[in-house]
Amino acid sequence: MTGFADLGYARVDTDREDRQGLPEIVYGPGKQPDEIVGIVSELLRRSTGPVLVTRVDPEVAEHVAERVDGAVHHPAARLLTWRPAPAGTFEVCVVTAGTADGPVAAEAEAVAAAIGLSTRLVRDVGVAGIHRLLAVREDLARADAVIVVAGMEAALASAVGGLVGSPVVAVPTSTGYGAALDGVTALLSMMTSCAAGLTVVNIDSGFSAAMAVHRLARTAARPR
Amino acid sequence: MTGFADLGYARVDTDREDRQGLPEIVYGPGKQPDEIVGIVSELLRRSTGPVLVTRVDPEVAEHVAERVDGAVHHPAARLLTWRPAPAGTFEVCVVTAGTADGPVAAEAEAVAAAIGLSTRLVRDVGVAGIHRLLAVREDLARADAVIVVAGMEAALASAVGGLVGSPVVAVPTSTGYGAALDGVTALLSMMTSCAAGLTVVNIDSGFSAAMAVHRLARTAARPR
Amino acid sequence: MTGFADLGYARVDTDREDRQGLPEIVYGPGKQPDEIVGIVSELLRRSTGPVLVTRVDPEVAEHVAERVDGAVHHPAARLLTWRPAPAGTFEVCVVTAGTADGPVAAEAEAVAAAIGLSTRLVRDVGVAGIHRLLAVREDLARADAVIVVAGMEAALASAVGGLVGSPVVAVPTSTGYGAALDGVTALLSMMTSCAAGLTVVNIDSGFSAAMAVHRLARTAARPR
Amino acid sequence: MTGFADLGYARVDTDREDRQGLPEIVYGPGKQPDEIVGIVSELLRRSTGPVLVTRVDPEVAEHVAERVDGAVHHPAARLLTWRPAPAGTFEVCVVTAGTADGPVAAEAEAVAAAIGLSTRLVRDVGVAGIHRLLAVREDLARADAVIVVAGMEAALASAVGGLVGSPVVAVPTSTGYGAALDGVTALLSMMTSCAAGLTVVNIDSGFSAAMAVHRLARTAARPR
Amino acid sequence: MTGFADLGYARVDTDREDRQGLPEIVYGPGKQPDEIVGIVSELLRRSTGPVLVTRVDPEVAEHVAERVDGAVHHPAARLLTWRPAPAGTFEVCVVTAGTADGPVAAEAEAVAAAIGLSTRLVRDVGVAGIHRLLAVREDLARADAVIVVAGMEAALASAVGGLVGSPVVAVPTSTGYGAALDGVTALLSMMTSCAAGLTVVNIDSGFSAAMAVHRLARTAARPR
Amino acid sequence: MTGFADLGYARVDTDREDRQGLPEIVYGPGKQPDEIVGIVSELLRRSTGPVLVTRVDPEVAEHVAERVDGAVHHPAARLLTWRPAPAGTFEVCVVTAGTADGPVAAEAEAVAAAIGLSTRLVRDVGVAGIHRLLAVREDLARADAVIVVAGMEAALASAVGGLVGSPVVAVPTSTGYGAALDGVTALLSMMTSCAAGLTVVNIDSGFSAAMAVHRLARTAARPR
Amino acid sequence: MTGFADLGYARVDTDREDRQGLPEIVYGPGKQPDEIVGIVSELLRRSTGPVLVTRVDPEVAEHVAERVDGAVHHPAARLLTWRPAPAGTFEVCVVTAGTADGPVAAEAEAVAAAIGLSTRLVRDVGVAGIHRLLAVREDLARADAVIVVAGMEAALASAVGGLVGSPVVAVPTSTGYGAALDGVTALLSMMTSCAAGLTVVNIDSGFSAAMAVHRLARTAARPR
Amino acid sequence: MTGFADLGYARVDTDREDRQGLPEIVYGPGKQPDEIVGIVSELLRRSTGPVLVTRVDPEVAEHVAERVDGAVHHPAARLLTWRPAPAGTFEVCVVTAGTADGPVAAEAEAVAAAIGLSTRLVRDVGVAGIHRLLAVREDLARADAVIVVAGMEAALASAVGGLVGSPVVAVPTSTGYGAALDGVTALLSMMTSCAAGLTVVNIDSGFSAAMAVHRLARTAARPR
């Protein structure tokens, strides 16, 4: 574990693909567009897997895409990708409580797809009309893992957690106002779910949820 | 609106029965046992309805009950009552997410019963096994109002709120640990429920929920 | 309980009118204008009661109103309505502590009116001049329910709660600055009111208060 | 401004009586009983005014009182006093919202009396029965300053602040549970009162309120 | 205590001048400019003392000043005044910790001056160079009351509180960043000052501090 | 999904073994010992897998173990088990930052073992001496999943997350004092880890971490 | 300790160079550009060391630099300097966790350089790829002090603290989102580091860290 | 950097003396007494410098001291030491705001002394009587570093920071009540001090402050 490329403004972890099965993923905010160009170019040169930049604004995306061949921009997910992995056999289902949770779900789904997971999106099945959730129960149970994207009180996470036996990764969103506290309420709610074995990632981080499932898929792919 | 009795240590609001249909209810903590004796005696003398003392420890309850005739002690609810009202036609259903929410539900039910509401208790229908809730759906829908008692992430409140069309009063409880934050998480969660028209009272306050339903029942009883 | 319409971007709960006496109400933020058009059209087709969209910006409102006949826009309340219900016999009084609480009160009143409640608005009766409140005491007592809209320390909720015996739904507002903490102080204050039986909804949610009263009115309308 | 006595374990500010009209007041917690004995003895020797120790437990109080002549113990106020000042012409009225606020009010009143203020105590006039407060309105208006002691939502502070034109010092108390957050809610509420010109001291600090009034009385006593 | 003028959008408390020695002061935010015009006109007609509007933006100030004769605009203080009171004998000294606390101090001073207090402003005496404070010690001690305006850790309040024996009203400001938490740190710090008898008002509220001193001055002016 | 057993004090979810591969696990706190006896007996009768009671005090454990045959008590883990599953091929490694995190790690390990996971415990490899962690790097990388148990600033979670490519479930503990805020700091820290794809469970919940791994193992066991 | 210059809008502490080895450093926000001109001019006249203005916007910087000769503007650090001190023998190494922490590190480095410290910057060595940190371990150990700049969970501070034996000043940054809470999580994390003897300064305050090292360097320069 | 001793229950970092100049220091809480015996014995065997156990209760201290020769128990500091280092030339002055801060100061002083720093203790110089602080100004300025121990609003830290030019390590304490929030207010206050270059450690951690000074002394001792 010694490889990295020192670009001055960044130390690109070129060893990560060996350790974790994916090249380092670039977090866009706070980086100059040309720094992103440099890092992405280095990653494409020094690794073989998919290369991703998250949370990019449209202008930055355009700037980078013009300078590094092969870019695909996913605007709803604020994501840039190169060399996406082919879809594998591990299937993740992304479920949202409401329409306003869409952008976070889009990030989760686009990142998951780019790193080789099979994805499925089920929208707007919040518990205020629980029959909408029960109607997709079989689909959820069939998935290898479920990502629940929900804001406000995030009750959907508990409901899904109680219905399925596979891993559930809960993403609190900043949807809502007042006592929703910019997603803190959803985070605390998911943390204290009565459904055992739920796990939680950071507020609005569809990216983290996809990466958590990536880790699962790696373990599931081990010969057993 | 001028009546009160000045006992020195307390100003008993003897006008309240006229304004709100019930004598003032005595909050036990922070009062000397003999002060409670004095206040209760005054209330029994100056009003005609039920008289209640909430959150009393067993020793205090015994001390007071020995000195003021007609007391009934409800230890699980930490409640003392005199002259309970006969059960009326307004039915409230008290629902709990788990067994640990029991003491708060007991307070809600005992206060509700003492002030003349018909009560029904449904325990342990948390959303981790949502079919347990669906099994009692008709019972809930039939009630004139529902009190939901839940701690941790309190997802039950949203689930009930989505199932029934009658008033739902949500009581967050301090059940749980860590991120449950002594009931604050449940409170915030209930506040931001995706089920429209839920209302919330203070953490662990079964008393407040019963009193909220008392107000409902008064309005429902008006000729229309 | 099985009906919903899957529009892809939303699952419209077409069963809700049966369960709760009102079609699903559309929460505007986070939805594309054309998604709102689609959902509203579906609701108008599949239900018979009033259809509402809350928290809409003027441009969105105009876009939608041009495409779905019969819309009425209530700009102060940020509300769009279709097929408003005729005013019923259940009267709710909306009371504000100060002029700055006006927009939240407007939402409460407009939603309440659209779903068939009789409404009355009393403005600017904060406790800094308590005689202004006492002057309207009879009006408040006559109402079937009272919605108290107040920010800052929200003392008005306790004062009203002590004066009337009917249901009081308290709406904390984000009025104020500094220690008002964007409405959290008002929320906590209302939660711990010394007036028994007050219930509380989310910060700035006039909508939730109106829906809570809708539930009350449904129960009050039951034959008894 | 140079005087102090270095006792090793404490530097007694012997200059304070000159600066502020009162010897340093001893905060009991965290001090050894014999350290209190030493400090009090020094203060009695080096100053001429009243000497006070606040927040003393009964055992500590007894230990100190046995060793320093002239002590008076006020157990409800957890206070020890020596050489109390005669009652002056400045009158402060201490008002409580409920019986549970009693100990804090007792501290405010006992400290105020010991340092030469005329005091009056009015108990249990919380706004849930506002007529109890209106009944003492003239008494409050007559006082030179009012100390309001209230927990929970502390609405009494705003109500009093709106009724009188003299200085109002608000003391939040830790009375209440759940969302009362050990007095933080009362503190925030008093801070954001709609009644202009209220000032606030620390939670449960009857002592601070009395000292704030001491400062007022000094200024009021200046020839003008 | 019965007088008020019902303008529809506001209930002007015309009794307040009798109760508190000053007409109601108008809080600008959340009011339409023409509503302010109406309220101010009513106050000028129904009372005799100074009339103030706080926290007005320049455009609103201009709009109102053009329509109500006699207005003076204090832009640094965001204040409009009519009929300012002549300077009385009660002197308040406004002290700031740093230059960034200037706008809050300006509000405190301008309001104080408009309601008839004599004012003095001492700027930039924060404790990082304590000799700057000691240099003005006599000036502070001479004042009838001191308003301390400080953000960040607000240590100046304790230092001043220890130096003078007259009333000290502390105003936390939102100056600072990070752990300053928009003034909450300053507020908590002032609340727990080791200097006894300090009182605190809301974050950034120079207005509240001036009004607190107004109350003091009223009491100090009573014959004794 | 319809099965449950209504014991009055509890509705035992007898369907859960089908849905999730394990009988319902009993949360001990807030239940009467005899209620636990009843629930455990029912679960043993109605299911075939391991039965567990978590967070039991020694006296309760003894009471229950005497009445239900086959109990094993794990005092360090506060756990009671019946019919533990044989160890499977899925290996989880439980890592702690310090000795004080031991009880939470014990719960994680004992629950994991009882439900059929192979477990390994590595203690005291906090980042203050990072070479201790690097020394076990291969062991961690070999495991199918890693549970990181850490309090205070919880930096171990990020370090482990960066070293291994398999799923990492982070358990914040309440170890530490002051700014550790009873585990909240560790929770927030783990939530915002720079190591992508970490997931987090509730403070001190070794149980939740084990259950999260149970879900992983189920998915990994699916034919692929 | 008596010197200061009263400019009316500011009291410049001209004694500080004697006390602390550096002239007062000017905090830019909240000051008028011409006030900065005045203060800087006074400092240049009354002292001999470097003069700095922190957190200046480009326009303000230009305005001031045009009016006071000898200014150097460091835009990335938002810093203006005059008469920078020559680099001394005390070497500080500034280390960042990620690229987004760059501006805070730039401020730390530029202030440190201007006041006479030797500086070195090491970027992007966050613990997600710990080998990048280990690769610079010797460089860190050689420095006389290390400033660690990190946001999110700030695990880098603990890792560095465990590797080196020299002083480590940790600067939490507001990098990150959601549970990062604008730097509060990083602050709490650094406060509770398992690496003994770390110290922490305010969020995003590269300036404070540099000044802390200035104090160290002064002490280290004392003859011993 | 490879040395550690694996005792099963602990991995003793035997390399630390090389890296940081001191053997690992043992944190007492959460360890069994015999585990402490084992770790201390190992440290004495594998290193040459002072060995310390912090935060030990008297019973644990006695148990360990009986089993490991050469122990010295410092009860006020809750500290056990073996092989204390001789006092060096680096002098640290520990200053407290009040008597109640004594135990934290005792820990700071005892740890500092045991690891070879020269110490001096100055008690009770809080800013409520600032002349007490000014009287020791020369002593503070002479010290190589100052540890300020203060609770409540912790204004002493800013005052000391402004007076001296040497390193100031601030320790917030949990002294105080109400808004002191168990030391959080002091922590935030110290973090936002107007005195530049102050650094802060965890609440009540005299240990951390002493260790921070140890790092300073190491750097100061380097040949320059």
* Per-residue model confidence as pLDDT tens digits over F114-138: 999 999 999 999 999 999 999 999 9
**Chain A residues contacting F via beta carbons under 8 Å:** 1, 19-21, 25, 89-90, 141, 144-145, 162-169, 187, 191-192, 196-203, 207-208, 211-216, 218-222, 224
- Give me the percent of chain A exceeding a pLDDT of 90: 96
Is H105 found in the same domain as H65?
A: no
Please say if the pLDDT value at position C224 is more than 80. Answer: no
Interchain CB distance below 8 Å, E224 and D89? yes
Please give the DSSP secondary-structure letter assigned to residue D17: H
Same domain, E105 and E187: yes
In this complex, the chains that touch C, judged by 3 or more CB pairs closer than 8 A, are A, B, D, E
Q: How far is CA A208 from CA A221, C30, F194, G179, in A?
A: 20, 22, 10, 13
Q: What is the pTM of this model?
A: 0.97
Q: Worst-scoring range by mean pLDDT, B199-213, G4-18, G157-171?
A: G4-18
E97 and E162 in a single domain? The answer is yes
Q: Could E219 and D218 be called an inter-chain contact, meaning their C-beta atoms sit closer than 8 Å?
A: no
Q: Is the pLDDT at B223 greater than 90, yes or no?
A: no
Average pLDDT over residues C104-109: 98
Whether residue C11 and residue A132 make contact (CB cut-off 8 A), yes or no, is: yes
Across chain F, what does the average pLDDT equal?
Answer: 96
Chain B residues with CB under 8 Å of D125 CB are 11
Q: Which of A191, A215, A210 is nearest to A54 (CA)?
A: A210
How would residue F143 be classed by pLDDT, with cut points 50, 70 and 90? very high
Q: Give percent above pLDDT 70 in chain H.
A: 100
Which of chain G's residues have a Cβ under 8 Å away from the Cβ of H222? 144, 220
> Which of C25, C27, C182, C219 has the highest number of chain B CBs within 10 A, making it the mutation to test binding with B?
C219
Tell me what pLDDT residue E1 has.
64
Residue E193 to residue H153, Cβ atoms within 8 A: yes
- Specify whether G102 is located in the same domain as G208: yes
Please give the C-alpha separations between residue E206 and each of D203, E101, E111, E213, in angstroms, as whole numbers: 23, 10, 8, 11
Among the candidates D61, D82, D103, a domain finishes at D82
Percentage of chain C beyond pLDDT 90 is: 96
Is H216 or A223 the better-scoring residue by pLDDT?
H216
Question: Are E152 and H194 a contacting pair at CB < 8 A?
Answer: yes
pLDDT > 90 in chain B, percent: 96
Considering the domain architecture, whether residues F127 and F20 belong to the same structural domain is answered as no
**Chain C: residue whose CA lies nearest to B165:** C20
Chains near H, with 3+ CB pairs < 8 A? Answer: D, E, F, G
Same structural domain, C48 and C101: no
Tell me what the mean pLDDT of segment G98-106 comes to: 94
| Per-residue confidence band for G34, with pLDDT thresholds at 50, 70 and 90 | very high
Cα radius of gyration rounded to whole Å, chain E: 18
Residue D194 has pLDDT above 90, yes or no: yes
Separation in Å, CA H1 to CA A1, D214, G106, G164: 16, 64, 31, 11
Confidence of residue F1 (pLDDT cuts 50, 70, 90): low
Residues H90-106, mean pLDDT to the nearest whole number: 96
The answer to whether the Cβ–Cβ distance between D145 and E169 falls below 8 Å is: no
Which candidate from F98, F134, F194 shows the least CB-CB separation from G194? F98
pLDDT higher than 80, residue H138: yes
Query: What value does the mean pLDDT take over residues C70-86?
Result: 97
Which residue on chain B is closest to C214 by alpha carbon? Answer: B197
Summarised one tens digit per residue, pLDDT across range G104-135 is: 999 999 999 999 999 999 999 999 999 999 99
Is E209 in the same domain as E114? yes
- The answer to whether the Cβ–Cβ distance between A4 and G179 falls below 8 Å is no
Q: Which residues of F touch A90 (CB under 8 A)?
A: 224
pLDDT digits (tens, 9 = 90+) for D17-69: 999 999 999 999 999 999 999 999 999 999 999 999 999 999 999 999 999 99
pLDDT at B1: 64
Inspect the interface and report whether the beta carbons of F199 and A169 lie closer than 8 Å.
Answer: yes
Residues belonging to chain H: 224
Confidence (pLDDT) at D2: 75
Closest approach of chain B CAs to the CA of D123, in angstroms?
Answer: 6
**What is the pLDDT confidence band of residue G223, given thresholds at 50, 70 and 90?**
confident
Are F99 and H2 an interchain contact pair (Cβ–Cβ within 8 Å)?
no
Distance from the first to the final alpha carbon of chain G:
26
- Write out pLDDT tens, residues D121-159: 999 999 999 999 999 999 999 999 999 999 999 999 999
Last residue of a domain, one of G82, G112, G144: G82
* Burial degree of F59 (CB within 10 A; 0-12, 13-18, 19+): exposed
Alpha carbon D168 to its chain centroid, in Å, reads: 13
Residue A66 CB neighbours (<10 A): 11
- Mean pLDDT value of segment H66-78: 97
Which of H13, H30, H204 is nearest residue F99 as measured by Cβ atoms?
H30
- The answer to whether the Cβ–Cβ distance between H187 and F178 falls below 8 Å is yes
CA angle A39–A41–A43, rounded 5-degree value: 70
C125 and C198 assigned to the same domain: yes
Q: How far is F95 from chain G (nearest CA, A)?
A: 16
A211's enclosing H/E stretch is helix A206-220
Q: Shortest CA distance to D145 belongs to which of D107, D183, D100, D197?
A: D197
Q: pLDDT band at C2, cuts 50/70/90?
A: confident
Pick from F144, F167, F192: which is nearest to A202 by CB?
Answer: F192
Q: Using alpha carbons, select from C76, C93, C106 the residue that is nearest to residue C169.
A: C93
Does one domain contain both B190 and B102? yes
Q: Which residue, of G82, G100, G124, is where some domain finishes?
A: G82
Q: Which residues pair with A51 in a beta bridge?
A: A82
Tokens 């520990």, located at residue: H94
The backbone region for A56, taken as left when phi is positive above 0, alpha when psi lies in -120 to 50, beta otherwise, is beta
Q: What is the pLDDT of residues B210-220, one digit of tens each?
A: 999 999 999 99
Mean pLDDT of chain C: 96
Long-range CB contacts for residues G111-114, cutoff 8 Å, separation at least 24: G111/G52, G111/G54, G111/G77, G111/G79, G111/G206, G111/G207, G111/G210, G111/G211, G112/G147, G112/G210, G112/G213, G112/G214, G113/G84, G113/G87, G114/G50, G114/G52, G114/G79, G114/G81, G114/G84, G114/G85
Strand pairing class (A79-82; A72-74): antiparallel
Spell out, as residue ranges, where chain E has pLDDT lower than 50: none
Residues H119 and H36 occupy one common structural domain: no
Q: Which chains touch A (3 or more CB pairs under 8 A)?
A: B, C, F, G
What pLDDT was estimated at residue D1? Answer: 64
Question: Does residue G16 sit in helix, strand or coil?
Answer: helix
Q: Each residue of C174-187: pLDDT tens digit?
A: 999 999 999 999 99
pLDDT band at H224 (very low <50, low <70, confident <90, very high): confident
Asked whether C and A share 3 or more beta-carbon pairs under 8 angstroms, the answer is yes
Option in B130, B178, B191 nearest A130 (CB)? B130
What is the nearest CA distance from D125 to chain B, expressed in angstroms? Answer: 7
**pLDDT more than 90, % of chain G:** 96
Asked if G24 and G126 sit in the same domain, the reply is no
Q: Exposure pattern of H180-219 as b/e (b: 16+ CB <10 Å)?
A: bbbbbbbbbbbbbbbbbbbbbbbbbbbbbbbbbbbbbbbb
Cβ separation of B123 and F204 shorter than 8 Å?
A: no
Residues E110 and E77 in one domain: no
Contact C202 A124 (CB under 8 A): no
Contact D7, D38 (CB under 8 A): yes
CATH number, domain with residue G98: 3.40.50.1970
Residue of F nearest to H39 (CA): F99
The whole-number pLDDT of residue D223 equals: 87
Identify all chain D residues contacting C191, using CB atoms and an 8 Å cutoff.
153, 178-179, 185
Count of structural domains within chain H? 2
pLDDT top residue among F9 and H93? H93
> Phi first, then psi: what are they for B92, rounded to 5°?
-115, 135
Domain assignment of residue A117, given as a range: 91-220
Per-residue pLDDT tens for B38-90? Answer: 999 999 999 999 999 999 999 999 999 999 999 999 999 999 999 999 999 99
Residues G39-88 have pLDDT tens digits of: 999 999 999 999 999 999 999 999 999 999 999 999 999 999 999 999 99
- Compute the average pLDDT of residues A208-221: 97
Nearest CA in chain C to E4: C132
Indicate the Cα dihedral angle G170, G184, D204, E163, nearest 10°.
50
Contact A123 C8 (CB under 8 A): yes
